Amino acid sequence: MDNHIIIETLENGLLRLRAEDGYNLYNEVAQRFYSEAVVKSAENYRAIPKGIDPQPHERTIDDAKKEKLAALHAFAENDKKFYIGNKPMWVGPNERANLKNAVEALAAQGVETVQYEGMTLPVVTALQMISAVEAYAAIHTMTEARHKANIEAKRAISTVDAYDFTAGYPEKLVF
């Protein structure tokens, strides 16, 4: 069996290098290793044959895409909102469907106004608002999907990094 260096993450976030036989290699390898690179996490390193210097994981196109897609998702989630007055709001698809069904049921019973977020609205206005939010959500989701597909189609790290996923989203609704 080959003798390998084992890299362990300690509770304080530092790494400990040791041989499979348990010998602590700190003085022999780790001191030089730490002086050459700042180790942020153990996931970028793997067990390596004894005698070979540990090398950080090179960023790949898949890494770049994963990072960009995570940033896209975070942006899109934060960007989804409409305003009632100055108050930013968002209602998910289930709540939109429930609101629409409730307002339609009330309208069918002859109710002419509904209360929502402290506002008294005519039923017709409430249904128009729900419809506008639904259309906004659909366009927003399609824009995010288009950006995701564009990122996935990139073939170079530089083009992934340069891609602007913030463009093309619908303007925020203000009621």
- Write out pLDDT tens, residues 59-74: 999 999 999 999 999 9
Answering whether pTM is above 0.75, one says: no
Alpha carbon dihedral 77, 79, 85, 86, in 10-degree steps, equals: 100
- Write out pLDDT tens, residues 128-165: 999 999 999 999 999 999 999 999 999 999 999 999 99
Does 27 have pLDDT greater than 50? no
145: how many CB neighbours lie within 10 A of its CB?
A: 11
Tell me if residue 7 falls in helix, strand or coil: strand
Number of helices and strands in the chain (H, E): 5, 7
Instruction: State the Cα angle at 138 between 95 and 107, rounded to 5°.
Output: 45
8 against 156, higher pLDDT: 156
Instruction: State the Cα angle at 107 between 106 and 111, rounded to 5°.
Output: 70
Least confident of 3-7, 11-15, 27-31, 155-159: 27-31
What are the C-alpha distances in Å from 144 to residues 4, 82, 108, 138?
A: 45, 17, 36, 10
Confidence band, pLDDT 50/70/90 cuts, at residue 43: very low
- Write out pLDDT tens, residues 85-95: 899 999 999 99
- pLDDT score at 53: 53
- Please report, for the chain, the start and end positions of each structural domain, with discontinuous segments joined by +: 4-49, 61-162
